[in-house]
Amino acid sequence: MRLRLRLAPLLLLLLAAPLVAAFSSRARRRDFRALTDSQIAAVATLPPAEWDAVDTGHLAHLLVPRVSGSENNTLVQAYLSSVFTKLGWHEDKDNFKQQTPLGEIEFTNLIYTFDPDAPRKLVLSAHFDSKWFKEGGFIGATDSSAPCATLIDVAEALTPLLQKRKERLAAGTPLLSAGHDEEDAAQTTLQIIFFDGEEAFHEWTDTDSVYGSRHLAEKWDAEYLPPSHDFVRRRLNPRPTVLDTVDVLVLLDLLGAPRPSITSYYRDTDWMFLELAATDDKLRAAGLVESGLKPQWFSKYFGFQGGGIDDDHRPFLHKGVPILHLITSPFPAVWHRMSDNKDALDLAVLRRWNRIMRVWTAGYLGLAADDGAPPPGTETPRNNASPRSTTDELVRP
Residues carrying an active site annotation: 198, 253
β 103-113/188-195 pair status: antiparallel
CB of 327 to Zn ion, least distance (A): 10
CB of 94 to Zn ion, least distance (A): 20
CB of 38 to Zn ion, least distance (A): 39
Distance of CA 243 to the CA centre of its chain: 16
Buried/exposed 255-271: b ≥16 CB within 10 Å, e otherwise: bbbeebebbbbbebbbe
Cβ 266 vs Cβ 26: under 8 Å: no
Residues within the interface to Zn ion (CB under 5 A): 131, 143
Nearest to 193 by CA among 71, 53, 321, 65: 321
Cα distance between residue 94 and residue 110, in whole Å: 6
Q: How many helices (H) and strands (E) does the chain have?
A: 12, 8
CB of 119 to Zn ion, least distance (A): 34
Distance of CA 20 to the CA centre of its chain: 24
For Zn ion, the closer of residues 140 and 363 by Cβ is: 140
Cα distance between residue 346 and residue 358, in whole Å: 18
